[in-house]
Chains A and B, each alone.
Chain A
Amino acid sequence: MGTVKRTEETDDRPPASLEETIADGGTIAGDEASADTPFGTVSSGTMSRRDRYEMLVNEWVVAPFKILWSDWRARVGSLIILAYVLMGTVGVRVVDPPRVGEGDRLVSPFEDLSHPLGTDNMGNDIFAQIVHATPPMLEMIVAGAVFTTVMAVVVGTLSGYKGGRTDQLLMTFNDILMTIPGLPLVIVIAVILEPRSPWLVGVIITVNAWAGLARAIRSQVLTLREESYVEASRLMGISTPQIVMKDIMPGLMPYILVNFVNSARSVIFASVGLYFLGILPFTELNWGVMMNLSYETGGALYTWETAHWLLAPMITIVILSFGLILFSQGTDRVFNPRVRARHTSAADPEEGDDDMSGEVATHIRG
């Protein structure tokens, strides 16, 4: 049930002049240069480069942002994530790095303004530790999430779109990888390789985490591949990479984004856990290392006095992962064309109605 009514009479369509134009220019997309076709030459220069640029910005930056903002989960989630990013970039410049003995030992939190979260057993400021642990954590998270997503998308898309032998081989390998429990595998590899760079740690931690996502993407691609518009593109002679980019990928984006965020979260979980156990070698300060130190050397388990030293990094992790989950729950809408259309300013005012009549249609059908 479209809302726009056809203004023209069906019978005396098309307008005579236009009909002639078309009849003459039968070769609309002929082999010869396009300038000859009367159809296309009448460019009135309606759109300047600037207009077009503005439209792009509007479509790809403003509209997604508006959509994000309209969902409270995404709003809270992105604020939290933003706070951590700021902490890792600006924070490290503003807050002095922790120094041994800069304060008394084991100051409780919220007592001394110069040590808002207290100090550890060596007198290091805990807040400063948390802040300065952020950059390596972020590096790890980004490395892991990017690695997972890229691997999954490449393997999943290749497998799904190519099909046949490729698919069979990749998926057999993929299924095995998927079944191996992640953490023990990571531990074994970490013990053997003893990685130090946060980037490498991130990749090792997700060494088989991408397999599940790859399978999910494959099955999505299988469905999308059968869509008529993909076949139409193929028949129009559009190249496979183009089809994958323009026709397949956009359909996968919500999926990919949600999983990007989810894998970020599991990188945090796993890496902090491994640092906490002391399985990954300590190089720089990070939240897992803080937990380990407070647990092992501070004896945080036995006394109340060191509790804050252990709690601070734990709470830091929980808040970040809470933010990530909220963000992922609220973001799939960004890629939904129905929601998009409503938020692009170019859209006509009848937009909302369109959705509503869809709703009625479902009721009627039901």
Chain B
Amino acid sequence: MSKTDDTQTPTTAGTRTGTGTDRTSIRVDDPIMEIRNASVTFDMERGESRVLDDVSLDIERDEILGIVGESGSGKSMFASALLDAVVNPGILSGEVTYRPRGDAEVDVLGLSPEELRELRWEEISMVFQGAQSSFNPTITIRAHFEETIEAHNYNMEQAMAHARELLSDLYMDPDRVLDSYPHELSGGMQQRTLIALSLVLEPNVLVMDEPTAALDLLMQRSILSLLEDLQEKYDLSIVFITHDLPLVAGLADRLAVMYAFEFVEVGPAGDLIGNPTHPYTRSLLKAVPNLDTPLAEMRPIDGMAPDPVDVPQGCSYHPRCPLADETCRAEDPAYHSVSPDHQSACFHWEDSAEAIPLSTGGDERGGGDGEMRAFAGNQSDEPVVSLENVDVHFDQVADGGLLSVFQEPDTVHAVDDISLDVYENDVVTLVGESGCGKTTLGKAVIGAQRPTDGTVAYRGQDIWEAKDSRRGADIPYEHIRRSLQMIHQDPGSSLNPNRKVQASLEAPLKRWEPDMDPDDRQERILSLLEYVGMSPPGDYAQRYPHQLSGGEKQRVALIRALLMNPDVILADEAVSALDVSLRVEVMDLMLELQDLFDTSYVFISHNLSNARYFSGKAGGRIGVMYLGELVEIGPAEQIINDPQHPYTKVLRWSTADLDIEETVEDPPLRGIDIPDPVDPPSGCRFHTRCPEAREACTREQPTLGGHGDGTEHETACFREYDESHEYWDSEPVVEDDADATADDESGSWGHANE
């Protein structure tokens, strides 16, 4: 079955230059594509940069191949190489062969421009990450489809019929979508439309480069489940490229892990997750926040991914590998067969399991052994910040024009009637889809957003009252202001690009301690930099933000917030923009500092795994938000393991875990897209999508408290109410499935960027 040459012993292996013969490819029985010794190089001033290093791989007919790698691992280059579409001035060498069923094989790199033009999209098609930027903003979706069909001389009528079918397959209303301009569709719709566009010429291979990275988890998961249907319906071979291992684990038939521009481990998804042999794969599995791995086992990977100009000699992973020895440093490992179809590029693959223990599968779920550091501090009885019946409504007003004065503004209910207490040393994580109001609620907590109704109190003092009547307040506003701080989502914009790190960090000190000696100030900043692992601190202090990596920027932002010695820090998706393997590291750091500084966090995340890790490790709570309302709140592990609200269950479903047994099933909800927050549904806001919805839900609104057993864990759903509630007697809301979706979409229509 396998033609892999695993008789080669490490000692006979040559140096890096000999890799072509040394590394055999990973073969399959019936490949639809074969990639041999593919390399991509860029000539740069400081040397040749090799962003795809001599990779060989087969893609089996009708399989879903998941390719996993961190940013900068070369995975996108691999995708481009499949279509011979490497951007200038990159140079692609090697062999790419396409084997259509029955026909003669095609040498992709040897095609004439016209043949290549025909091959692309008709045979091999591609979906990119940013759907928004993949469309021409000035022409309609229909025009995109039509020009594609025309360019390939397909029968317009048939092909457009196919396009409509694809769009409905993807749960959208074909006419509406076709007549829209790209900016009129929401992100999830754009991405689905792009998938339809890539399939309109009925290709055999679909290459997807991070197709869902910019979307909410729920939308990602929904698209994935649709993808599986499409694959079956149209006999597709799919190459799914992502940084998110848990996401593809359930979807893919085979997985290939990329590190430093080459594949380090390839195998069937089950084997690779259940029995990973390459140290990098194992560490990655430990580093990625998920719902299964016991919290105590999660570990960041030390060190940094290598620079393409300067890939380490020998095994490129050796600087970070706990198993590395002399051989590893000197020689490039060949593939070793773990099983006939499972290959690992590591000399010591047999020892890796022992060296890097892993318990995937989750039998010891939540079992914190002694190793686990408990970060939970003592929480106070009195809340630090207390929200009571807070509403935040926004008026959507058009931009500045003369007539905007006369317009009736649309009101967006970003936060509706929420009460929440945050204690000292507390961690509250807010989760929900984008547009659910979690950021607005977070900002209301730290007094960055004035509520339209209700009160926000800091240690009993109404924050906004203090601000308005500066003198009369018990606690002066100034004090409140510095006690409530924030760390932003996007590391790219959290620091002023025009100021050096030092200047950014000095600003709060200069504001609050103007008398401080400049040298002391500097010293304090340097020692904090050192503390968060940025050394030498003197060097880092003199850097501009663009000279820092994303993780480093977030550290600086964290320090800046801590310099204020705040009581509460709002961390708005503070780790979402970081590479998966870094997230755990930064979250650990945040928790560690919480211990030292006695701060509370309000942590905002769309990702349940991060929420679980962060709240769970500190013994905090998770609050689930939907369309401006808090629908469930309770201790982290309870929310994860025993979700009560139907929406929480949906979120739980959408969070991919590493259990490959669990394939991607249909979503436990009735509509994919979120209703428009300008005009939220009546009664329980979730009733348009809730699988358990009954007639009573459309009329009446469930509340958080006032029922159940009075524990910390509260749920706003009638199913929690006792039997006497009318919910139990009313009729289920059942609609025809397709209709339901169309209805929901009418809600989210014309609501482009939520």
Whether A247 and B496, one on each chain, are in contact in the complex, defined by CB atoms closer than 8 angstroms, is: yes
Whether A236 and B507, one on each chain, are in contact in the complex, defined by CB atoms closer than 8 angstroms, is: yes
Cα–Cα distance between A168 and B405 once the two chains are bound (Å): 9
Whether B478 and A237, one on each chain, are in contact in the complex, defined by CB atoms closer than 8 angstroms, is: yes
Closest chain B residue, CB of each to CB of A335: B498
Closest chain A residue, CB of each to CB of B481: A237
Whether B562 and A232, one on each chain, are in contact in the complex, defined by CB atoms closer than 8 angstroms, is: no
Are A364 and B489 also in contact (CB < 8 A) when A29-B512, A232-B560 are? no
Closest chain B residue, CB of each to CB of A168: B400
The interface centre, meaning the residue of B490, B508, B518 with most chain A CB atoms within 10 A of its CB, is B508
Cα–Cα distance between A18 and B531 once the two chains are bound (Å): 8
Cα–Cα distance between A247 and B304 once the two chains are bound (Å): 31
Count of CB-CB pairs between chains A and B under 8 Å: 214
Closest chain B residue, CB of each to CB of A6: B533
Q: Write out the residue numbers on chain B whose beta carbons fall within 8 Å of the beta carbon of A85.
A: none
Whether B523 and A42, one on each chain, are in contact in the complex, defined by CB atoms closer than 8 angstroms, is: yes
Whether B533 and A228, one on each chain, are in contact in the complex, defined by CB atoms closer than 8 angstroms, is: no
Residues of B36-88 whose CB lies within 8 A of A? 42, 44-46, 49, 51, 71-72, 74, 76-77, 80, 87
Cα–Cα distance between A347 and B523 once the two chains are bound (Å): 20
Whether B509 and A29, one on each chain, are in contact in the complex, defined by CB atoms closer than 8 angstroms, is: yes
Closest chain A residue, CB of each to CB of B552: A2
| Residue A365 is within 8 A (CB to CB) of chain B in the complex | yes
Cα–Cα distance between A13 and B533 once the two chains are bound (Å): 7
Whether A231 and B519, one on each chain, are in contact in the complex, defined by CB atoms closer than 8 angstroms, is: no
Choose one: A13, A34, A357; the contact of B307 (CB below 8 Å): A357
Q: Write out the residue numbers on chain A whose beta carbons fall within 8 Å of the beta carbon of B303.
A: 5-6
Choose one: B42, B535, B565; the contact of A360 (CB below 8 Å): B42
Are A18 and B530 also in contact (CB < 8 A) when A235-B481, A348-B539 are? yes
Are A26 and B596 also in contact (CB < 8 A) when A39-B527, A235-B484, A363-B51 are? yes
Closest chain B residue, CB of each to CB of A247: B496
Choose one: A168, A171, A364; the contact of B77 (CB below 8 Å): A364
| Residue B448 is within 8 A (CB to CB) of chain A in the complex | yes
B494-528 vs A, Cβ < 8 Å mask (1 yes, 0 no):
11111100001001110111011111111110011
Q: Write out the residue numbers on chain B whose beta carbons fall within 8 Å of the beta carbon of A44.
A: 519, 523
Q: Write out the residue numbers on chain B whose beta carbons fall within 8 Å of the beta carbon of A354.
A: 546-547
Cα–Cα distance between A343 and B513 once the two chains are bound (Å): 32
Are A41 and B520 also in contact (CB < 8 A) when A29-B563, A337-B546, A363-B87 are? yes
Cα–Cα distance between A216 and B695 once the two chains are bound (Å): 53
| Residue B702 is within 8 A (CB to CB) of chain A in the complex | no
Closest chain A residue, CB of each to CB of B526: A46
Choose one: A1, A246, A359, A360; the contact of B507 (CB below 8 Å): A246
Interface residues on B, range: 35 or more
Whether B546 and A29, one on each chain, are in contact in the complex, defined by CB atoms closer than 8 angstroms, is: no
Residues of B544-561 whose CB lies within 8 A of A? 544-549, 552, 557, 560-561
B243 CB → nearest A CB, Å: 12
A167 CB → nearest B CB, Å: 6
Residues of A345-360 whose CB lies within 8 A of B? 346-348, 351-354, 356-360
Whether B481 and A168, one on each chain, are in contact in the complex, defined by CB atoms closer than 8 angstroms, is: no
Are A8 and B535 also in contact (CB < 8 A) when A23-B596, A26-B596, A363-B87 are? yes
| Residue B660 is within 8 A (CB to CB) of chain A in the complex | no
Q: Write out the residue numbers on chain A whose beta carbons fall within 8 Å of the beta carbon of B516.
A: 34, 40
Choose one: B72, B302, B530, B535; the contact of A1 (CB below 8 Å): B72
Whether A228 and B585, one on each chain, are in contact in the complex, defined by CB atoms closer than 8 angstroms, is: no
Are A167 and B45 also in contact (CB < 8 A) when A236-B511, A237-B482 are? no
| Residue B389 is within 8 A (CB to CB) of chain A in the complex | no
Cα–Cα distance between A26 and B593 once the two chains are bound (Å): 10
Are A352 and B46 also in contact (CB < 8 A) when A26-B597, A34-B520, A171-B400 are? yes
| Residue B90 is within 8 A (CB to CB) of chain A in the complex | yes
Whether B511 and A237, one on each chain, are in contact in the complex, defined by CB atoms closer than 8 angstroms, is: yes
Closest chain B residue, CB of each to CB of A165: B405
A108 CB → nearest B CB, Å: 54
Q: Write out the residue numbers on chain B whose beta carbons fall within 8 Å of the beta carbon of A235.
A: 446, 448, 481, 484-486
Whether B494 and A10, one on each chain, are in contact in the complex, defined by CB atoms closer than 8 angstroms, is: no
Whether A39 and B524, one on each chain, are in contact in the complex, defined by CB atoms closer than 8 angstroms, is: yes
B273 CB → nearest A CB, Å: 25
Cα–Cα distance between A46 and B520 once the two chains are bound (Å): 10
Closest chain B residue, CB of each to CB of A49: B518
| Residue B308 is within 8 A (CB to CB) of chain A in the complex | yes
Are A231 and B448 also in contact (CB < 8 A) when A40-B516, A237-B482, A357-B307 are? yes
Q: Write out the residue numbers on chain A whose beta carbons fall within 8 Å of the beta carbon of B51.
A: 360, 363-364
| Residue A61 is within 8 A (CB to CB) of chain B in the complex | no
Closest chain B residue, CB of each to CB of A233: B507
| Residue B12 is within 8 A (CB to CB) of chain A in the complex | no
A249 CB → nearest B CB, Å: 9
Whether A228 and B488, one on each chain, are in contact in the complex, defined by CB atoms closer than 8 angstroms, is: yes
Q: Write out the residue numbers on chain B whose beta carbons fall within 8 Å of the beta carbon of A337.
A: 497-498, 544-546
Q: Write out the residue numbers on chain B whose beta carbons fall within 8 Å of the beta carbon of A3.
A: 307
Q: Write out the residue numbers on chain A whose beta carbons fall within 8 Å of the beta carbon of B90.
A: 363
Residues of B378-413 whose CB lies within 8 A of A? 400, 402, 404-405
| Residue A251 is within 8 A (CB to CB) of chain B in the complex | yes
Are A236 and B549 also in contact (CB < 8 A) when A2-B304, A28-B565, A39-B524 are? no
Whether B517 and A43, one on each chain, are in contact in the complex, defined by CB atoms closer than 8 angstroms, is: yes
Q: Write out the residue numbers on chain B whose beta carbons fall within 8 Å of the beta carbon of A27.
A: 565
Q: Can you add 11 more A-B contacts, CB < 8 Å, to A237-B481, A242-B511, A250-B499?
A: A8-B533, A10-B300, A11-B302, A13-B533, A34-B515, A229-B494, A235-B485, A246-B499, A363-B87, A364-B51, A366-B80
12 residue pairs from A and B, CB less than 8 Å apart: A22-B531, A28-B562, A29-B482, A29-B563, A47-B519, A227-B496, A232-B557, A236-B481, A237-B478, A251-B497, A360-B309, A363-B51
